Amino acid sequence: MYESGENMSESIKVLLPEEELDKRIRELGAQISEDFAGEEVLMVCILKGASFFACELAKRITVPMSIDFMATSSYGAGTVSSGEVKIKKDLDLSVEGKNVLIVEDIIDSGHTLHFLSELFSTRHAKSIKLCAMLDKPERREVDVTMDYVGFTIPDAFVVGYGLDYDQKYRNLPYIGVVELNG
């Protein structure tokens, strides 16, 4: 259990330990490599949350790949998606004619991945596949078909392994549930 140093206002309970995350990321890397055999892939990592997951996943993909980063926002400092997706940093590389693998930390409402799928389609990507470390299907507001999912989790606010609570806890080596006290 991790406790905040600031007023002890929240604590973190481990949901997915580091070993379990590592095992599943290896499996996803193998599946993606098999699915894209003989092809090249452009991995698009959605910052900041997916950076930990994307780096570990990239090390386990065996097909030729490049990586680019995009920053979007639909949360601000809150814990619930606003539904409005804003691009804070666009890609440096073109997706035109490329197999695009969008890597996200978590899919809950579905707004971000739906928005990005539509955007990359208008930019003429050859194919678009969606990968998320975590899926919260109970929170879905927009129909999005996931190609690769690490874990399906309950509707709880999670942190660690890149996921944050107001920019804190990204550095935890596991996925934990935030328990607000008071």
pLDDT at residue 8, as a whole number: 45
Residue 4's pLDDT is 46
Enumerate the H helices of the chain as residue ranges. Answer: 18-35, 51-58, 111-122
In angstroms, rounded to a whole number, what is the distance separating the alpha carbons of residues 117 and 71? 15
Residue in the block written with tokens 């935030």 = 178
Is 105 an annotated catalytic residue? Answer: no
Residue 2: its pLDDT value, please?
A: 45
- Peptide bond preceding 48 in cis form (omega within 30 of 0): yes
- Burial (0-12, 13-18, 19+ Cβ within 10 Å), 96: exposed
pLDDT for position 1: 45
Confidence (pLDDT) at 117: 97
Q: How far apart are CA 182 and CA 41, in angstroms?
A: 46
Q: Which residue of the set 108, 143, 155, 164 is catalytic?
A: 108
Picking from 104, 17, 32, the residue whose alpha carbon sits closest to that of residue 65 is 32
- Write down the pLDDT at residue 113: 95
pLDDT in tens, the chain (182 residues): 444 444 446 789 999 999 999 999 999 999 999 999 999 999 999 999 999 999 999 999 999 999 999 999 875 545 555 568 889 999 999 999 999 999 999 998 999 999 999 999 999 999 999 999 999 999 899 999 999 999 999 999 999 999 998 889 999 999 999 987 75
Tell me what pLDDT residue 7 has: 46
